[in-house]
Amino acid sequence: MSATTDTEIKEALPTELIYEIIAIIVGQGSGAKDPAVTSLSPLAAASLVSRTWNAICRPHIFHTLGRDRITGSISTRLAFLHFEAPHLSGYIRSVELNWLTESHHFTTEWLAESLSRLRNLRTLHLKDMLFTSTMGPPPLYAGIISMVGAPYLRKLVLLRCYFPEDGSDLYSILPTSLEELKLTYVLVRADFSATSVTRSPNPMQTLRLHALRTLELHHVVHPAFSSKNFIECPNLERLTTLWCYDWDLPPWIPSSVSELVLHADRGTMRSFPTAMYPSTVTMILLDSVSFLNSCTWIRACIARFSFMETIQELKLNLTHSLHPTLWDYGVFSRVLQPLFAEERLQSVFLNLTLPASAGVNDPALLVDEVEAGLAELSVGNVLDVKIERDDTTRCQVVRCSLQRREVASR
């Protein structure tokens, strides 16, 4: 009998099992979620086991193109792809570019060609970009236009990006293939020229984003977005936005949105527009002074909703530095009671994040306290309370679900 070689041992594992092992490694943060896969990472080590392992690891290793943890730059990664391994460009699914931190690297002539090879791109993150005739090196702009034109691009994130006031470059940067769009601090710089590198032939035309399902807007103050016909997205399902005293919902948001997520300001709020009928609403408030203040805030928000009769599921995400008392939970219970008078409301979910120092050491005691405080709501409804600990943030999370009995029994 011949001796068994190392290669035979390595390949003895079923391919399905190898996939499962690699999936566990990726899930622990050394793969797609970690763009800085180094030679010391478990995923890189796994890729050296054999050719089979390498083929399975490769899509995860090269999934994301972002800044190198050691050099703090993306240029070394781009240079490697362009000059040494252009065949690996097809594995890249996500790209993260930051103009402020990388601008001195974006002058090379080969940049546009390198970025144009990313035809399998799914997600693009652009940060601190200046989309004008003075934005910088033409290779960078040409490379960005190539990437947003990738046939499989589905998600675009713009963070602190500046456009001319006429919005001309927006037409080149928002492809019709998008399913998810996140805009944070999309602004105008008055000192920039209104003449961009690539102008739309008709700057007043409507952007038809019929594939768009998820939209997130935070501090989007560019005037183009306030135009009624700027975007047409009839199939939008989920809208996430900041709701504060000086906030206006863009007029092109369709009334058919079924899920609304509000990061709300504790200050004075305007009444919510009437032309919206969501079935699921999530309200998020961070760092409230006290649980009692949050209850007052929730009551004020609900009073400004014009669509309470359409809500079937209400989610409340709150973060506090102080542990609520039994009396606080009682106040919260009285705030929620009128909501269940609405026949369509079926469920309310509360996620309350507390510092470990503010919590109760015994989770069972905390569950008893919450159940006692919300006892009035248990009449005719099903109350479920769970306590979780987030070891990453060292916080306790109180998760309460309150459902009508007929819904909970399904």
Least confident of 27-36, 194-203, 273-282: 194-203
Helix (H, G, I), strand (E, B) or coil at 188: strand
Confidence of residue 268 (pLDDT cuts 50, 70, 90): low
Helix/strand/coil percentages in the chain, nearest 5: 35, 25, 40
pLDDT tens digits for 52-96? 888 999 888 889 887 655 455 677 788 888 889 899 999 999 999
Checking phi first, is residue 174 left (phi over 0); if not, alpha (psi -120 to 50) or beta? Answer: beta
Query: What does the alpha-carbon distance between residue 127 and residue 160 come to, in Å, rounded to a whole number?
Result: 6
Query: What does the alpha-carbon distance between residue 328 and residue 181 come to, in Å, rounded to a whole number?
Result: 38
Please give, one letter per residue, the 3-state secondary structure of 86-104.
HHHHHHCCEEEEEHHHHHH
Confidence of residue 36 (pLDDT cuts 50, 70, 90): very low
Helix (H, G, I), strand (E, B) or coil at 144: helix
Confidence of residue 287 (pLDDT cuts 50, 70, 90): low
CA-based torsion, 47, 48, 53, 54: positive or negative: positive
Query: What does the alpha-carbon distance between residue 51 and residue 336 come to, in Å, rounded to a whole number?
Result: 59
Confidence of residue 258 (pLDDT cuts 50, 70, 90): very high
DSSP 35: S
Q: If you average pLDDT over residues 325-346, what whole number do you get?
A: 82
Checking phi first, is residue 192 left (phi over 0); if not, alpha (psi -120 to 50) or beta? Answer: beta
Helix (H, G, I), strand (E, B) or coil at 118: coil
Query: What does the alpha-carbon distance between residue 122 and residue 140 come to, in Å, rounded to a whole number?
Result: 19
Q: If you average pLDDT over residues 382-396, what whole number do you get?
A: 80
The pLDDT of residue 409 is above 80: no
Query: What does the alpha-carbon distance between residue 275 and residue 292 come to, in Å, rounded to a whole number?
Result: 31
Query: What does the alpha-carbon distance between residue 274 and residue 128 come to, in Å, rounded to a whole number?
Result: 35
- What is the percent of the chain where pLDDT is above 70? 78
Closest CA to 189 of 260, 130, 114: 130
Query: What does the alpha-carbon distance between residue 254 and residue 233 come to, in Å, rounded to a whole number?
Result: 7
pLDDT greater at residue 159 or residue 406: 159
DSSP 5: P
Query: What does the alpha-carbon distance between residue 242 and residue 257 come to, in Å, rounded to a whole number?
Result: 16
pLDDT of residue 246: 63
The pLDDT of residue 369 is above 60: yes
pLDDT of residue 200: 43
pLDDT of residue 321: 74
Classify each residue of 166-179 as buried b or exposed e, where b means 16 or more C-beta atoms within 10 Å of its C-beta. Answer: bbbbbbbbbbebbb
Confidence of residue 4 (pLDDT cuts 50, 70, 90): very low
Query: Which structural domains are found in the chain, ordered by start?
Result: 1-61 (no CATH), 73-236 (3.80.10), 255-410 (3.40.50)
Confidence of residue 142 (pLDDT cuts 50, 70, 90): confident
Structure tokens that stand for 104 in this block:
């001195």
Closest CA to 95 of 179, 186, 32: 32
Closest CA to 335 of 360, 359, 316: 316
pLDDT of residue 168: 76
Query: What does the alpha-carbon distance between residue 32 and residue 39 come to, in Å, rounded to a whole number?
Result: 15
pLDDT tens digits for 188-198? 876 554 444 44
Q: If you average pLDDT over residues 265-278, what whole number do you get?
A: 70
